[in-house]
Structure 1
Amino acid sequence: MSTKKKIQEEVEVLEEVTKQHEIVLFNDDVNTFDFVIDSLIEVCEHTLEQAEQCTLLVHYKGKCTVKTGEYSDLKPRCSSLLTKGLSAEII
């Protein structure tokens, strides 16, 4: 096997292993800014500033990526956001 082919295969495996997913939070007309901010701090471990910025982006843009990582880490976080009545999905 050529060195170039071997390196390419290693890169493909590494990309597969480290594939990142995102939790996207969507705007709604139900939850208050404070509730969304508190939820992001609790569930996504945001700082106050991160949570405020994400909440403003969700409000004005309609959605925002609030957490990036491996699916196994994001799934329970997304479920917690949904349980709180927020609209979110993993992409």
Structure 2
Amino acid sequence: MDGFKTATTICVMQQGKGSSCGASSNGVPSVPTATANLASLTVAATDASIILTGTGTAAAGGKKNVLTGTINASDLTITWAQSGDCVAAGYCQDQ
């Protein structure tokens, strides 16, 4: 998810708004297809926030990692917060 976090941050700075920074847009990669461990990864982009959600498969514990970036409209900086249950389970890094 770090690659998506970086790409969406750069996109917001270049485009001047978050709504232009969804998956497959303005340098933000396409979401990957499901794998043995990754059930899904989504990118939800609005002018106020970017929400990245990664969900593991049942085989990988089914844990979720959510990174929510709040966009400061005046200077386009993004403050990221992590939620979901993957950190407590030891399945992903604390961001």
Q: Normalised by the size of structure 1, how large is the TM-score?
A: 0.25
Ranked by relative contact order (alpha carbons within 8 Å, sequence separation 6 or more), the top structure is: 1
The structure whose Rg is larger is 1
